[in-house]
A and B are shown apart, each in its own frame.
Chain A
Amino acid sequence: MNLRLLKKALLRLGFCGAIGVLLLYAVFPFYYAVLTSLKPSSALFQVSYWLDKPDFSNYAAVLQQASFLQAIGNSVFVAVCVVALALFLSLTAAYALGRVKFRGRATVLLLVLGVSMFPQVAVLSGLFEVIRALGLYNSAWALILSYTIFTLPFTVWVLTTFIGQLPGELEEAAIMDGASPWVALTRVLLPLLWPALVTTGLLAFIAAWNEFLFALTFTLTDQERTVPVAIALISGGSQHELPWGLLMAASVIVTVPLVLLVLVFQRRIVSGLTTGALKG
């Protein structure tokens, strides 16, 4: 009897230990970035695991840089516009794909899935030409347009799944009453779709906020750069003297909103991620 109790206690201890290791692994790097960002530059090169007195000089220095503030503004603008554009385009498309049976539906879904799979670099030169032809080079609109390539496929996919799961009777009643598909979508289905829109919108926002390759290639000047590019280009006197304190402060500033979003909406985000992948 005692042996069994001991075994149970050991198992429990092992389990708690495993959860502890997992949490440490997941959270420590970000914690360490916060820690570094709160150190004065004199203490930067002494490794420590705890901080006695936070020093905000790195944050003050980063927030005084006009180009960094500009980059935050650009990132917010780009991400919000991408979310609006992607949701509008994919909502109508998802209605057609999730609610109407027609010839070619499977082909369209396969095409959308195909686009989500192909490498961004494969369209880089062609897209560069399109953007220059439209006169959008080095502007936020270049990014807003090009980001639909990776946001649209999964917003369409996830919203199609969500719309497909809604009961059909509501909409049928509206159509019997003579409502057009547009009215059926916006008046009848849309109110039920808010949770799904929040989920897909969040995922699109995070994807747009984090994108790097297009932002690096399609923008040229500090005025148009987004946050990831601005951070990648922060440099010191030489490659080996990066201003780490400053860099970590900038990293924390651009990550905290995302971490908060994730903590608040984790249930929705998880359901969005898994519908996109598992039902497809």
Chain B
Amino acid sequence: MTSSISQAQPFYDEPLAIKETPVQRRRVRAAWLFLTPMLLCLLLVAGWPLLRTFWFSLTDTSLSDAGAGAFVGLSNYLARDGDVWSGVLVDPLWWQAVRNTLHFTVVSVGLEICIGLAVALLLNVQFAGRALVRAMILIPWAIPTIVSAKIWAWMLNDQFGIINHLMLGLGLIDAPLAWTADASLSMWAVIMVDVWKTVPFVALLMLAALQMLPGDCYEAARVDGVHPLKVFWRVTLPLLMPALLVAAIFRILDSLRVFDVIYVLTSNSSSTMSMSIYARQQLVEFQDVGYGSAASTLLFLIVAVIAVLYLYLGRRQMEVR
């Protein structure tokens, strides 16, 4: 081997050689060591409990005596005794909860995206006091859900609520509405509160995305005299789509597990019962851990399917680009 080759060799091998250095190996080992506490913690509070919930859903465990459950197969989901079917999958209340949750998710996420986008476009304009306005609209986001549900329950109160007072005064209604008690209105009340609380999050996400958009497209459009509405549809919206989808998926997954706002506003009323409310009622109030776990497992599967679909589609989209 000539000296010139031996000198040239490391140049070509460098990327490979660095991977194998002891320093690098030590770093990888340290990385796993650094990850271990976090992974252990997640295993303890998420992984293991999730597996146990699956298992409980196959038993007749009750809350008062958690150790004594016996394996009952899939009968918490679906069972047949003579001509009578039983289990979560034939419980009309469960399907009502599924319908309610989907109704809630579609309407509230749709509204949040539209209003959030409008707010973001408004705040994307330079004006004096913009930082203050941006801080003010964060207030609904920071208020605990329980508190905002209580505040709205008071504003929506059928006899003394300010909303009825205002609507009566404006002549929109003839008699006070029982927002939270009337089955046809209570879902709208829940949606109203949820939209109020989460629009800031969506709006700020959209605003951050708007501010990352390249300015040269707009400059070109302005020079060519393109109508602002057309610029919005042809330039802003397509460029904003990825951020819009991220916001939508975050909000959809959040809405599917909705619990707090409904629990406080309408408690266990069947016209607004969500899947989480149903599962917790079975688990804690009726002490039926097996049956409640079956409902929780179904909710988990629904959320998981949507999440996996999203990740899969997101990756596909990235590959196409």
Inter-chain CA distance A266–B228, complex, in Å, is: 30
Q: Is B27 an interface residue (CB 8 A)?
A: yes
Q: Is A277 an interface residue (CB 8 A)?
A: yes
Contacts of A111 in B (CB 8 A): 42
The proximity string for B residues 175-213 relative to A, scoring 1 for CB distances below 8 Å and 0 otherwise, is: 000000000000000000000100011001100110010
Which residue in B23, B27, B45, B299 is a CB contact (below 8 Å) of A122? B299
The proximity string for B residues 126-160 relative to A, scoring 1 for CB distances below 8 Å and 0 otherwise, is: 01000101111111111111111011101101011
Interface of B is mostly: helix
B259 engages A213 (CB within 8 Å): yes
Number of interface residues of B (CB under 8 A): 95
Q: Is A254 an interface residue (CB 8 A)?
A: yes
A114 engages B307 (CB within 8 Å): yes
Contacts of B297 in A (CB 8 A): 122
A127 engages B280 (CB within 8 Å): no
B209 engages A32 (CB within 8 Å): no
The proximity string for A residues 184-218 relative to B, scoring 1 for CB distances below 8 Å and 0 otherwise, is: 01000000000000000000001001101100110
Q: Is B34 an interface residue (CB 8 A)?
A: yes
Which residue in B144, B155, B256, B280 is a CB contact (below 8 Å) of A209? B144
Q: Is A76 an interface residue (CB 8 A)?
A: no
Which residue in B31, B66, B137, B155 is a CB contact (below 8 Å) of A29? B155
Which residue in B151, B161, B205, B311 is a CB contact (below 8 Å) of A273? B205
* Known A259-B142, A270-B134: A124·B283 in contact at CB below 8 Å: yes
Q: How near does chain B come to A149, taking the closest CB pair, in angstroms? A: 5
Which residue in A100, A102, A112, A149 is a CB contact (below 8 Å) of B45? A149
Q: Is B296 an interface residue (CB 8 A)?
A: yes
B259 engages A148 (CB within 8 Å): no
A27 engages B46 (CB within 8 Å): no
B52 engages A129 (CB within 8 Å): yes
Q: Which of B40-89 contact A (CB under 8 A)?
A: 41-42, 44-46, 48-53, 56, 61, 63, 66
Q: Is A174 an interface residue (CB 8 A)?
A: no
A254 engages B147 (CB within 8 Å): yes
A231 engages B147 (CB within 8 Å): yes
Which residue in A23, A90, A121, A244 is a CB contact (below 8 Å) of B259? A121
Q: How near does chain A come to B175, taking the closest CB pair, in angstroms? A: 16
Q: Is A3 an interface residue (CB 8 A)?
A: no
* Known A93-B38, A96-B30, A270-B134: A258·B144 in contact at CB below 8 Å: yes
Which residue in A100, A255, A266, A274 is a CB contact (below 8 Å) of B205? A274
Q: Is A115 an interface residue (CB 8 A)?
A: yes
The proximity string for B residues 286-303 relative to A, scoring 1 for CB distances below 8 Å and 0 otherwise, is: 000100110011011001
Inter-chain CA distance A146–B45, complex, in Å, is: 6
A212 engages B152 (CB within 8 Å): no
Which residue in B41, B52, B208 is a CB contact (below 8 Å) of A270? B208
Inter-chain CA distance A30–B42, complex, in Å, is: 36
Q: Is A180 an interface residue (CB 8 A)?
A: yes
* Known A96-B35, A266-B135: A126·B48 in contact at CB below 8 Å: yes
B134 engages A27 (CB within 8 Å): no
Q: Which of B252-296 contact A (CB under 8 A)?
A: 253, 256-257, 259-260, 263-264, 275-276, 279-280, 283-284, 289, 292-293, 296
29 A-B interface contacts by CB (under 8 A)? A15-B125, A29-B148, A30-B151, A32-B155, A45-B159, A90-B38, A92-B38, A93-B34, A95-B31, A100-B28, A120-B257, A120-B259, A121-B280, A122-B303, A181-B26, A185-B34, A210-B145, A210-B146, A213-B276, A213-B280, A231-B146, A232-B150, A251-B147, A251-B150, A251-B151, A255-B144, A258-B142, A266-B134, A270-B204
Apart from the given pairs A126-B48, A259-B142, 14 other A-B contacts in the complex at a CB distance below 8 Å: A33-B147, A88-B37, A93-B38, A102-B32, A124-B49, A124-B280, A126-B49, A129-B49, A148-B42, A216-B263, A229-B146, A254-B144, A263-B135, A277-B250
Residues of chain B touching chain A, judged by Cβ–Cβ distance below 8 Å, are 23, 26-28, 30-32, 34-35, 37-39, 41-42, 44-46, 48-53, 56, 61, 63, 66, 119, 122, 125, 127, 131, 133-148, 150-152, 154-155, 157, 159-162, 165, 196, 200-201, 204-205, 208-209, 212, 243, 246-247, 250, 253, 256-257, 259-260, 263-264, 275-276, 279-280, 283-284, 289, 292-293, 296-297, 299-300, 303-304, 307, 311
